[in-house]
Amino acid sequence: MLDAPVATKAPPRFDWTRAEVAALMALPFPELIWRAQGVHRAWHDPTKVQVATLLSIKTGGCPEDCAYCPQSISYETGVEASRLMDLDEVLAAARAAKEGGASRFCMGAAWRSPKDRDIERVAAMIAGVRDLGLESCVTLGMLTDRQAHTLRDAGLDYYNHNLDTAPELYGNIISTRTYQDRLETLGHVRDAGIAVCCGGIVGMGEDADGRAGLIASLATLPTHPESVPINALVRVVGTPLADAAALDPIDFVRVIAAARITMPASYVRLSAGREAMDDATQALCFIAGANSIFAGERLLTTSNVAPPRDAALLARLGMVPIQ
């Protein structure tokens, strides 16, 4: 287990077993980081980080019951439901994100699945974002094959749809859809030729084996997601997971390292939960192979790291955004 070569670009594997991922994650921390660094440096420039900005284009009132989510109608979280934003407002936010240094603009909607008329409106947003010279990503819930093609025709670069947790834990977190539903949408997105952004959330009460199950599920998809967001649960008052025990930061870094090793070509995104992390933990995540972040005052409904703190951290680490 300990004698992996450093900085060789071995072809990605798609046959990771959960036991292998669990064993990787359980390595002595210096050994795990050494392996993750070897893979990271073979595939990526370790000084560069991709910066994406998020906008909630349709907030709250979601009929799904995801136990972590402040936007579900099932929970009293104080998030006010709103309708789909107008094109002009969305493009103004995209322009501001670009001026703030973002290279990708991600739009999220609190839908179980979009209606066809919603897809037409989102397609116009995607085209507008592309015209600004930004990459686009949307997350709209479950898609049909036809809807995925419409989004691709509008120029969509990435679709975000997370597996969220290990297959056997999914039913504890969400009762209104299945793991198989998620896999089907991911298949439609992939078949339409859109790059896949797919990851999960840790710190929802799962154990190390559950975290290994999530990473093994992602790393055994027929093609690795081009982007793998690893979210640390943002514990929102009113959701069933408001009082979940905080995850040990070292265990979080272990998940990042396992994602990096098993999905070498992918962007591994240090996603939600950064605001509650100290700078040293974030630095360890970058060392373990994270090379993408969400920047900006807000995630979707919750707050994010203040931009000056991000700028100061990247400067201290000598890291620069990918343009």
Residues with active-site annotation: 62, 66, 69, 106, 137, 197, 269
Find the binder of ligand SAM among 118, 164, 206, 310 (CB under 6 A): 164
Using CB under 6 A as the binding rule, the residues of this chain from 53 to 112 that contact ligand SAM are: 68-69, 71, 108, 110-111
Q: Is residue 301 a contact point for ligand DTB (CB under 6 A)?
A: yes
| Type of residue found at 162 | N
Minimum CB separation of residue 28 from ligand SAM in Å reads: 29
Residue 159 sits in the site that holds ligand SAM (CB under 6 A): no
Helix axes 279-287, 249-262, angle to 10 degrees: 20
Across-strand partners of 158? 137, 195
**How many residues belong to the site for ligand DTB (CB under 6 A)?**
17
Stretch that binds ligand SF4, among 31-39, 68-76, 152-160, 234-242 (CB under 6 A): 68-76
Strands 158-160 and 135-139: parallel
| Interaction residues for ligand DTB, span 236-295 (CB under 6 A) | 271-272
CA distance 89 to 57: 9
Q: How far is CA 170 from CA 13, 66, 176, 181, in A?
A: 25, 10, 10, 11
Distance, in Å, from the CA atom of 34 to the CA atom of 287, rounded to the nearest integer, reads: 9
- Both structure tokens of 209: 């084996």
Q: Which of 38, 114, 141, 200 binds ligand SF4 (CB under 6 A)?
A: 141
37 belongs to the binding site for ligand DTB (CB under 6 A): no
Binding partner of residue 72 among ligand DTB, ligand SAM, ligand SF4, none, CB cut-off 5 to 8 Å per kind: ligand SF4
Q: Where are the alpha helices (DSSP H) in the chain?
A: 18-25, 29-43, 87-99, 116-131, 145-153, 170-173, 179-191, 208-219, 249-262, 279-287, 307-317
Pick from 36, 66, 129, 277 the residue near ligand SF4 by CB under 6 A: 66
Closer to ligand DTB by Cβ: residue 31 or 226: 226
Nearest distance from residue 224's CB to ligand DTB, in Å?
16
256 token code pair: 């990042």
Q: Which stretch binds ligand DTB (CB under 6 A): 9-17, 165-173, 217-225, 300-308?
A: 300-308
Q: State the binding partner of 301 from ligand SF4, ligand SAM, ligand DTB, none, CB within 5 to 8 A by kind.
A: ligand DTB
Position 225 contacts ligand SAM (CB under 6 A): no
- 186 scored as a contact of ligand DTB (CB under 6 A): no
Contact 187, 198 (CB under 8 A): no
Full 3-state SS string of 169-232: HHHHHCCCCCHHHHHHHHHHHHHCCCEEECCEEECCCCCHHHHHHHHHHHHCCCCCCCEEEEEE
Residue from 33, 51, 62, 272 that binds ligand SF4 (CB under 6 A)?
Answer: 62
Where would I find the beta strands (DSSP E) of 4-86?
A: 48-58
User: What are 270's strand-pairing partners?
Assistant: 230, 293
Rank residues 40 and 224 by Cβ distance to ligand SAM and give the closer one. 224
Residue 129: C-alpha distances to residues 122, 196, 216, 281, 316 (Å): 10, 18, 33, 33, 31
* Residues in contact with ligand DTB by the rule CB under 6 A: 54, 70, 106, 108, 139, 160, 162, 199, 229, 231, 234, 271-272, 299-302
**Site residues for ligand SF4 per CB under 6 A:** 62, 64, 66, 69, 71-72, 110, 112, 141
Footprint of ligand SAM on this chain (CB under 6 A)? 68-69, 71, 108, 110-111, 139, 141, 161-162, 164, 201, 231, 233-234, 236, 272, 300
